[in-house]
Amino acid sequence: MSMKRAADMSWFGWGDPARAAPLSDPVRDLIARTLGVRLRELPPVSEADVRLPARALDQAARGALEEAVGADWVRVDDAARLRHAGGKSTTDLLRRRAGAAEGAPDAVVLPADHEEVLAVLRACSEHRVAVVPFGGGTSVVGGVEPVRGDFASAASLDLRRLDRLVCLDTESATATLQAGLRTPEAERLLAEHGHTLGHLPQSYEYATIGGYAATRSSGQASAGYGRFDAMVTALKAATPRGTLDLGRAPASAAGPDLRELLLGSEGVFGVITEVTLRVRPVPASARDEAWSFPDYASGAAALRRLAQSAVRPTTARLSDETETFVNAALSGREARPGCLLLVGLEGGEREVRTRREAVGTELAEAGGTFLGTEPAAEWRRARFHGPYLRDALLDAGILSETLETATTWSNLMPLYEAVSAAVKETLEGPEGGAVVMCHISHIYPTGASLYFTVVTATGADPQSRWARAKRAAGDAIAAGGATITHHHAVGRDHLPWMSAEISPLGTDVLRTVKSSLDPVASSTPASSSPAVRARGSKRRGLPYATSRADPLRERPR
């Protein structure tokens, strides 16, 4: 079974250009006053004025790729190359809006199945073509931009044709999905049989199944459904040396779990082509509520109580004071003091009713004030509009970007303060002020995530301006003993902190695995060795050449 795929995203922004909307005058005035700057119009160049590198794919390599997938499925036109030139980080968009697309691949290759992916890898290995798999293209950490290194050329491996629900095992409550399937199509196919994944990241509309697996994605309902990697029971991947078909049972003692090599690998070790996932019946009942807490610390303490109890909600999202105020202002509501907590519950009617009472008791005892259902409903309605707002801000000369991490409960508030201070100190100055806001949206018994949004003027050199802020945030996260990424993955942007996260010995272990699965790429000098990746909107995935210089090697700062 397969379905028609939605249109490609805008080449210079997020999603469907028809859904983009300019900032209203009240919002423009609020931003200008808050940041202390005058807004200026910064529209993107026309597509005809974008600079693409000359195609470097020779005829022999092109012929081998056409033999692997068919001539109609090897695209070398400028429109296809531009739309595979990178992801959707603010840095990506700034470059393309200014007319620069130096990272565009020489070709876009669209295999139809696992065997064709294997054939593409063999052809690229023989002709030294760097490969970066591409699903939805929503990476915000530099995860889908090809880097040639010493390779003759680069190809983007677009997995959109791998879009089937392969099978649904209702007795075992699992479904096998091809990697290029976008989430809305996956959910509709499963809903026809009364089931759901329950995975709802903000990239939901464009992200792909394989990309979720390759980046250890986490959705807004992670407290109830779990992270995506926790939902995976089996997977299949193509590597330059052949197929990895992993996962036979709910649990196994047959040595280390090799699925973990692919989950979160971003395609360094192989291209994920098929994923078997735990599914659940479509919930009969759902309830969203809003609560208010006096401050961020008390709200976080309430979430910790829930996370360490037996009554965790399906969804939990706590905004700090600044994000609470900003979201109210954007929606036209009167801002309340304190912090807004949204909780959602899904399941059978009796189950939801019982859990709602238990959650409400916990939150009230922790100092929360019940606000009803409307603030939560409003958040649901605006959930997928956020990236479009970022585009409108860029049009007005304002940067809006995110970064995220996770840490233990005991370290949560100190880390929050440290990262916020580091970013504000870096950005505030003659070019304007900065707004740094944060929310918690993924909770565990031992800790939680922190998701920051930063808004500031573009300044004279917006790419360098954001790079300095990102470096300051990354250094603060590393110094605070937290993870450099909770669910955005490593990409190119987080490479400087990878060795600190897993240790130099850990990177040596990963290089050894890489050399076994992708000997051609591994024989390339370390300074330019490519690596395969996968992330569809969350998809990258080749073990072959990669969209970053060497994902296993710390880049100089």
- What CATH number is associated with residue 211? 3.30.465.10
Burial of 522 per CB tally in 10 Å (0-12, 13-18, 19+)? buried
Residues 182 and 201 in one domain: yes
- pLDDT confidence bin for 264, thresholds 50/70/90: very high
What does the pLDDT read at residue 145?
Answer: 86
Residues 137 and 208 in one domain: no
Assess whether pLDDT exceeds 70 at residue 538.
no
Q: Give a yes or no: residue 387 inside a domain.
A: no
More confident of the two residues 19 and 167: 167
More confident of the two residues 557 and 412: 412
Residues 218 and 309 in one domain: no
What would the mean pLDDT of 519-544 be, rounded to a whole number? 43
More confident of the two residues 523 and 309: 309
Residue 488, number of CB atoms within 10 A of its CB: 27
Which of these three, 158, 178, 199, is where a domain ends?
A: 158
Which of these three, 158, 186, 209, is where a domain ends?
A: 158
140: closest CA among 327, 381, 390, 320? 390
Cα(343)–Cα(351) distance, rounded to whole angstroms? 15
Lowest model confidence (mean pLDDT) among 255-264, 358-367, 537-546: 537-546
Residues 185 and 258 in one domain: yes
- pLDDT confidence bin for 556, thresholds 50/70/90: very low
- What CATH number is associated with residue 318? 3.30.70.3450
Residues 219 and 256 in one domain: yes
Place of tokens 């850990």: 506
Q: Give a yes or no: residue 472 inside a domain.
A: no
Contact 472, 203 (CB under 8 A): no
Residues 271 and 307 in one domain: no
Three-class SS state of 556: coil
Q: Give a yes or no: residue 189 inside a domain.
A: yes
Lowest model confidence (mean pLDDT) among 5-9, 171-175, 513-517, 536-540: 536-540
What tens digit of pLDDT does each residue of 479-512 get?
999 999 999 999 999 999 999 999 999 999 999 9
Residues 68 and 152 in one domain: yes
Residues in the chain: 557
Residues 174 and 245 in one domain: yes
First to last CA, the chain: 47
Residues 170 and 266 in one domain: yes
Cα(506)–Cα(491) distance, rounded to whole angstroms? 17
- pLDDT confidence bin for 150, thresholds 50/70/90: confident
Q: Are strands 107-109 and 153-158 parallel, antiparallel or unpaired?
A: parallel
Q: Give a yes or no: residue 198 inside a domain.
A: yes
Burial of 3 per CB tally in 10 Å (0-12, 13-18, 19+)? middle
Q: Give a yes or no: residue 22 inside a domain.
A: no
- What CATH number is associated with residue 64? 3.30.43.10
Phi, psi of 175 (to 5 degrees): -135, 140
Residues β-bridged to residue 196: 280
Which of these three, 100, 123, 158, is where a domain ends?
A: 158
What does the pLDDT read at residue 388?
Answer: 92
Give how many domains the chain has, as a whole number: 3
In 270-424, where do the E strands start and end?
A: 271-278, 280-281, 285-293, 315-319, 339-347, 369-372, 398-408
Q: Give a yes or no: residue 390 inside a domain.
A: no
Task: Report angle CA 472, 473, 474 to the nearest 5 degrees.
Answer: 95
Assess whether pLDDT exceeds 90 at residue 401.
yes
When the pLDDT of each residue in the chain is averaged and rounded to a whole number, the result is: 90
Place of tokens 């937290």: 482
Contacts of 427 (CB under 8 A, 6+ apart): 433, 434, 454, 456, 465, 468, 469
Assess whether pLDDT exceeds 60 at residue 530.
no
Q: Give a yes or no: residue 262 inside a domain.
A: yes
Q: Give a yes or no: residue 55 inside a domain.
A: yes
- pLDDT confidence bin for 523, thresholds 50/70/90: low
Angle between helices 296-307 and 349-365 (to 10 degrees): 140
Residues 272 and 315 in one domain: no
Domain that holds residue 328: 285-382
| Three state DSSP letters for 456-524 | EECCCCHHHHHHHHHHHHHHHHHHCCCECCCCCCCCCCCHHHHHHHHHHHHHHHHHHHHHHHCHHHHCC
> Which tokens hold the place of 364?
């009230």
Residues 252 and 317 in one domain: no
Q: Which residue blocks in 143-284 are alpha helix, DSSP H?
A: 183-191, 209-215, 222-225, 228-231, 259-262
What does the pLDDT read at residue 522?
Answer: 66
Residues 172 and 269 in one domain: yes
| Three state DSSP letters for 7-27 | CCCCCCCCCCHHHCCCCCHHH
Global confidence as pTM: 0.91
